[in-house]
Chain A
Amino acid sequence: MIRLLRELWIFCWRDLSIARSYRSPFILETVEALFGAAMFYYVARFVDSPQLRGSLPQGGSYFAFALVGFVFFDYLNAALDTFDRSIEEARNSGTLEHLLVTQTSLPVMLAGSAIYPFVSTTLRIAVYIAWGAILFDFPLRGANWVAVAAVLLATLLAFSGLGIISAAYLLLFKRGNPAKWFLLGVSSVAGGMLFPVNILPDWLQIVAGLNPITYALEAMRSALLGGASLAGLWRPVVVLLGFAAFLLPTSMLLFAWSLRRTKTTGTLTHS
């Protein structure tokens, strides 16, 4: 167990060291988050009405609803991108084969490479929310932070499976997974990012029900804006864990198969 944690840490240390070698990205991202939060605030002020507030599942302002939807959608983005990008960067820099001749197993490499991107996405989200709370009256007082943390974990586990499937595709076919862009597109419309799912036509609501982002956003808004307890969030959390239970092992099997296939065809380092 200690060895596993050390292996995971060394990937995190690598990514942290690389990030540190670039100057001032954090300052730029902080400024970007300020403009992003401001944009949502003024769009919300423009469209907000008592009728709109009444139609939001968790109540509250449209600004809070939209900001949570927008920033937590980033998790799906990060999950789908992280594993792909780590494979692509390793292949392009020639480190992939040197990683694969070490004694560290592939699942640990994948998990280790995902830590820093997920942590930095979480920090980016925190900065967005902080700007919202400091300058634009984003309601944080009622948040249930234990529930927020639990939803975040369940969301990461569910989304990671999708990301690993995407990486398996990239490894095998040497190009980006079109299903990834389709999933992001569908999720942006039928995932509850900027408007509630219940305003969609019935068939799109069925599509939304098959997508983990719908449950992640529903649970996150309930915990962050509505102060829902973990017990009150059992349904979306269980669904997210169900997605994780299916997607994680499936994705690992698919990735292992893709790697074996790539070793058979001799195209491991081809781009």
Chain B
Amino acid sequence: MPEPAITIKSLAKSFPPARSGWRAFLQPFEKPTAVALDGISLDVRRGEAVALLGANGAGKSTLLRILATLILPTGGTASVSGHDAVREPRLVRQRLGYHAGSDIGFYPRLTGRENLRFFGRLNHLSSDTVTRRTNDLAVQFQLTDALDRQVRTLSSGTVQRLSLMRALLHQPSVLLLDEPTRSLDAIAAAEFRRFLKNEILRGGATSVLFASHTLAEMEQLADRIAIIDAGRLLACDTVAALKHRCRASSLEDVFLSLTGHAPHALEPPEDGAE
């Protein structure tokens, strides 16, 4: 049996309590007491798309950020293509593309093309490869015209698409997407889903773990859905199996049945942060 693309075992993460004023100086040294992840175990197979479904603060972004080597776990292990995110962060970063689900993260006075060149070169792509990949992806994302404009002049949705291009530039085998269509309009979101399904997932070489608040998006893209609540994994299965298990007619009812939350808990926060 081939090794899973992502392996998460008993993953736990707690944060120190937030402090303000002079107590903020003590925060980096305080004991972690606020539980964000509580012993999550999950595998993502090669070529598989798994969606993370949970209310705000459930731990979805924390999980993705641990895999992206941006946060260190308190316990358990997380690995990408067999490489441990804590002990081998560089090897993990070689294999993943990360989209933080926001429309910031670029140098506003550089053009989109210049930004992609910068990040592509930091991922050790040759100049020719960056140019070729940028041009190919620009066609797929319909960004050819916007690519040579300064990022500060681009709309939020365009920057978000640029961010997705950056995540895909070095052809990673694992894609981590945190609310990938949050700032996209309906047409761009649909186009992105089509692209992800046809160009990324159909090839079977790339695995995707993504968090979203859009249930239809999950049903369309995900092979399995992992339902997380208060840092715990409640279930991970296909939509059909989850519906059968909960005797529910919709994914929303499944979520309600498993977590006890009202459906509006799934709506994205106003400021966009989890």
User: CB distance B72 to A264 under 8 Å?
Assistant: yes
Choose the segment among B88-96, B188-196, B263-271 that binds chain A (4+ C-beta atoms closer than 8 Å).
Answer: B88-96
Task: Give min CB distance, B188 to chain A, whole Å.
Answer: 20
Choose the segment among B119-127, B134-142, B215-223 that binds chain A (4+ C-beta atoms closer than 8 Å).
Answer: B119-127
Q: Does B272 contact A (CB under 8 A)?
A: no
User: CB distance A95 to B28 under 8 Å?
Assistant: no
Q: How far is the CA of A267 from the CA of B119 in the complex (A)?
A: 23
User: CB distance B72 to A14 under 8 Å?
Assistant: no
**Which partner residue on chain A sits nearest B110 by CB separation?**
A17
In the bound complex, residues from chain A placing their C-beta under 8 Å from that of B102 are 94
Q: Does A100 contact B (CB under 8 A)?
A: yes
Task: Give min CB distance, A222 to chain B, whole Å.
Answer: 41
Q: How far is the CA of A18 from the CA of B124 in the complex (A)?
A: 21
User: CB distance B93 to A93 under 8 Å?
Assistant: no
User: CB distance B107 to A95 under 8 Å?
Assistant: yes
Q: Does A24 contact B (CB under 8 A)?
A: no
Q: Does A141 contact B (CB under 8 A)?
A: no
Q: Does B108 contact A (CB under 8 A)?
A: yes
User: CB distance B70 to A101 under 8 Å?
Assistant: yes
Q: How far is the CA of A94 from the CA of B110 in the complex (A)?
A: 14
**Which partner residue on chain A sits nearest B30 by CB separation?**
A265
Q: Does B205 contact A (CB under 8 A)?
A: no
Q: How far is the CA of A18 from the CA of B110 in the complex (A)?
A: 6
B-contact 0/1 string along A99-126, CB 8 Å cutoff: 1111111000000000000000000000
Q: How far is the CA of A104 from the CA of B68 in the complex (A)?
A: 14
In the bound complex, residues from chain A placing their C-beta under 8 Å from that of B24 are 173-174
**Which partner residue on chain A sits nearest B176 by CB separation?**
A101
User: CB distance B108 to A93 under 8 Å?
Assistant: yes
Q: Does A266 contact B (CB under 8 A)?
A: yes
Q: Which residues 66-117 in A have Cβ within 8 Å of B in the complex?
A: 93-95, 97-105
Known: A94-B100, A173-B24. A102 touches B123 (CB 8 A): yes
Q: Does B69 contact A (CB under 8 A)?
A: yes
Q: How far is the CA of A261 from the CA of B107 in the complex (A)?
A: 26
Q: How many residues of B contact A (CB 8 A)?
A: 39
User: CB distance A18 to B122 under 8 Å?
Assistant: no
In the bound complex, residues from chain A placing their C-beta under 8 Å from that of B93 are 101-103
User: CB distance B122 to A97 under 8 Å?
Assistant: no
User: CB distance B122 to A10 under 8 Å?
Assistant: yes
Q: How far is the CA of A136 from the CA of B70 in the complex (A)?
A: 54
In the bound complex, residues from chain B placing their C-beta under 8 Å from that of A173 are 24-25, 28
Q: Does A45 contact B (CB under 8 A)?
A: no
Q: Does B62 contact A (CB under 8 A)?
A: yes
Task: Give min CB distance, A260 to chain B, whole Å.
Answer: 7
Q: Does A262 contact B (CB under 8 A)?
A: yes
Known: A17-B110, A95-B106, A102-B123. A265 touches B118 (CB 8 A): no
Q: Which of A100, A261, A263 has the most CB of B within 10 A?
A: A263
In the bound complex, residues from chain B placing their C-beta under 8 Å from that of A3 are 124
Task: Give min CB distance, A19 to chain B, whole Å.
Answer: 9
Q: Does A172 contact B (CB under 8 A)?
A: yes
The one of B13, B32, B104, B122 in contact with A93, judged by C-beta atoms closer than 8 angstroms, is B104
In the bound complex, residues from chain B placing their C-beta under 8 Å from that of A94 are 100, 102, 104-106
User: CB distance B105 to A97 under 8 Å?
Assistant: yes
Q: How far is the CA of A178 from the CA of B59 in the complex (A)?
A: 35
Q: Does B166 contact A (CB under 8 A)?
A: yes
Q: Which of B28, B36, B100 has the most CB of A within 10 A?
A: B28
In the bound complex, residues from chain B placing their C-beta under 8 Å from that of A174 are 24
Task: Give min CB distance, B73 to chain A, whole Å.
Answer: 9
Q: Which residues 1-52 in A have Cβ within 8 Å of B in the complex?
A: 3, 6-7, 10, 13-14, 17-18, 21-22
Q: Which residues 248-270 in A have Cβ within 8 Å of B in the complex?
A: 260-268
User: CB distance A10 to B121 under 8 Å?
Assistant: yes
Q: How far is the CA of A135 from the CA of B110 in the complex (A)?
A: 38
User: CB distance A172 to B28 under 8 Å?
Assistant: yes
**Which partner residue on chain A sits nearest B152 by CB separation?**
A21
Known: A14-B110, A21-B110, A93-B107. A103 touches B123 (CB 8 A): yes
User: CB distance B105 to A98 under 8 Å?
Assistant: yes
Known: A17-B110, A173-B24. A103 touches B105 (CB 8 A): no
User: CB distance A104 to B16 under 8 Å?
Assistant: no
Q: Could you name 18 residue pairs across A and B whose Cβ atoms are closer than 8 Å? A: A17-B109, A18-B110, A21-B110, A93-B105, A94-B102, A95-B107, A97-B70, A97-B98, A98-B98, A101-B68, A101-B69, A102-B122, A103-B93, A172-B28, A173-B25, A262-B28, A266-B13, A266-B65
